Structure 1
Amino acid sequence: MATVNVYLTFNGNCRQAFEFYKSVFGGEFPYIGTFGEMPPQEGKEMSQEDQDKIMHVTLPISKETVLMGSDTNGEWASSLKVGNNFSVSINAASKDEADQLYNGLSQNGQITMPLAETFWGAYFGMFTDQFGINWMVNYDDPAKMEQHP
């Protein structure tokens, strides 16, 4: 069965926001990574400012719930507005469930990232549904996750 969490997007102050959330909720970041730690993209230079931005951070806030977030950069930055800076993030229990949820929820919506294998080892995609809600669908294959700690 899938789990659902909120994914927050920031314009350069993700680290500051998550340090604040951590001060309120407590706990630790199991993962925090920057855009500079990503594999280089051919033909795309990234400024030092963008390299230092958060690509992904997670903060467990209860046994069932994880607050996730990132900064935006590049072509994504211009479309970020307060009010559209969050997504519903679904972690599917299988690749088939990820396909079913992604295909079903994205009907009549706008695909922003097709479901595909990612460099971090997940099967992942994003879209905005027909009602204007942003979604992320993710499946972490346990065999692949052992290769990408």
Structure 2
Amino acid sequence: MESYPPLIPYLVVRDAAAAIDFYKNALGAMEIVRHHMPESTKITHAHLVIGDGSIMLSDDFPEMRGGKASTPEALGGSPVTIHLQMNDVDRFWKRAVEHGVIVTMPLADQFWGDRYGQFQDPFGHKWSVGHTKISLSEDQLKEAARVWFKI
């Protein structure tokens, strides 16, 4: 029996096959499974592993929801950001950028002690990546935030 992490984001995309290829090329994802709608190229379910985490995804099936699409593009964006914590964030970032992610917050050392950045993938999903460089005490974090926000 397959073992799953306790929490797995499930993404709906406009072209699951293209998204799987993108995640494999840009994010180094490993495909675990892919299921198609009978007599169709549409993907009903896929499971990918990225680093130590997983995502699942499928094509959009608006016909199953009264004709309403549910991709981030159809909804005007997504309020959710998928976060990946890792050791080699610079290498991961470089690869993602080379494959066409839209950088929304450049990768940089942040006041809270992480090397951190954000991007959007070509399917409208938002991602953040980070690597903890230093762990700050609560007092150190508050002081760093005061300096950062000029309070």
| TM-score under structure 1 length normalisation | 0.40
Bigger Rg, structure 1 or 2: 2
| TM-score under structure 2 length normalisation | 0.40
